[in-house]
Structure 1
């Protein structure tokens, strides 16, 4: 049976194409739709991971701060995020955010003004226009999964301020990775008891009661209004990880 091998791919029968990869690479004629195909996207994904790893590999201990992009400077959580960013920087942490406005901007501002390293990991969205001005090291991503990898790989903990669906997504992903043993010694601190208490109560009264989570899953989420407590938990995790 006739067959054609293209690297790890084998083609047979009517799936055999009539040109080589090198031919399509070197020939400038013909349609350019190939740059939008899934195999080509894999190279873009690879490039994003390589760029992210290269930009962040030397950061040292870091904490990711999440929160809504919609909270302006007049919102109480903005000031909390700014204080948190400053205190983390003073304790020697790099501060990583999603690089957007609101709580993310505030945390970046606090870290940068305190002389720390302020990082923003941006994502291509239709309603946001680049990284905030307080980001000292910024990486923009096309793909959410590549960006999420950077948050988890280079952070020793998550501090979560009031936020929307994106904030919940990051928080629960970290909780899932901790639950499944993918990450260890990884504090997840929810800052803002009024905002987060209802969620934690629902998890306890519904999920825990139904047996869909365990008590230790719930215990991974630390709820507080105290920035100093949040910072102390990050410091303790860093010391435990280096011990």
Structure 2
């Protein structure tokens, strides 16, 4: 085995190979409740590492311009229609004044980073330690490697004005429904969520309407939180309109607060 083919893994800022490769990830060890109770004495130290990841993420991303987080499958081959949609989306977002944030991996994530890079914009990748190696793609200009999924997910939301979701698997669905839940529960407001690929997403949208809504498990307006399109330009227009509405809401709230304060005085 040559140096270039040795198995390796990213662990936050570290790169490990050979005998230094652990048998599990930091997330797995944090969540594992089996075996020895030694973990009880280790969790306070884990808190410090988790804190350090938050500090690093906040420090690196705090000065980003308005940004949009793009999710999608890591398994999408280059040159396919979904990959090209990702490239077009990255370009369109940059032209509209947004930085592009992805998970930093291959497939649809690479496509969006590529489009952003080719358009001369800011291309960000937030990677994660996995049991198998998945390095940051070559189109990422600012990359951060995280150990813990929940820290990474916080960064996806905190520094984005919207989410765009390309076709993907379990990880993509996890990120999609977490975003929808945050909007539904008011944890984030005026936060557009766009699904690109009407044919791919149609069965899910039908299930949401015909099963969740029909059984009263969501409110009638909840399906409207998801905007579905095949056109990257339409996706960007929807996001821009959402940003304008958010800015207008802030102005109106300030005017109302000032009026109430004046009335009290």
Query: What TM-score, normalized by structure 1, do the two folds share?
Result: 0.84
What SS does structure 1 have at the residue aligned with 2:221? helix
Q: Choose 1 or 2 for highest CA Rg.
A: 1
Q: Specify every segment of 5 or more residues in structure 1 that has no aligned partner in the other structure, as ranges.
A: 1-32
What SS does structure 2 have at the residue aligned with 1:215? coil
Name the counterpart of 1:19.
none
CA RMSD of aligned residues (A): 1.5
Q: Say if 2:126 is the partner of 1:121.
A: yes
Q: In the aligned structure 2, how far is the partner of 1:237 from the partner of 1:160?
A: 16
Name the counterpart of 2:90.
85
Q: Say if 2:49 is the partner of 1:47.
A: no
Deviation at 1:234, TM superposition (A): 1.2
Matches within 5 A, 1:23-172: 37-172=42-177
1:131-167 deviation line (CA, Å, top 9, x unaligned): 0000000111000000000000000100000000110
Name the counterpart of 1:11.
none
Deviation at 1:87, TM superposition (A): 0.6
Q: In the aligned structure 1, how far is the partner of 2:213 from the partner of 2:121?
A: 40
Query: What TM-score, normalized by structure 2, do the two folds share?
Result: 0.77
Name the counterpart of 2:192.
187
Q: In the aligned structure 1, how far is the partner of 2:86 from the partner of 2:110?
A: 8
What SS does structure 2 have at the residue aligned with 1:235? helix
Deviation at 1:73, TM superposition (A): 0.8
Q: Say if 2:210 is the partner of 1:205.
A: yes
Q: In the aligned structure 1, how far is the partner of 2:145 from the partner of 2:243?
A: 27
1:63-105 deviation line (CA, Å, top 9, x unaligned): 0000000001132100000000011011110000000000000
1:90-138 deviation line (CA, Å, top 9, x unaligned): 1110000000000000000000110100000000012233200000001
The answer (yes or no) to whether the contact 1:100–1:128 under 8 Å persists in 2 is no
What is the total number of aligned residue pairs between the two structures?
Answer: 211
Q: 4+ runs of 1 displaced by more than 3 Å?
A: none
Q: In the aligned structure 1, how far is the partner of 2:54 from the partner of 2:113?
A: 23
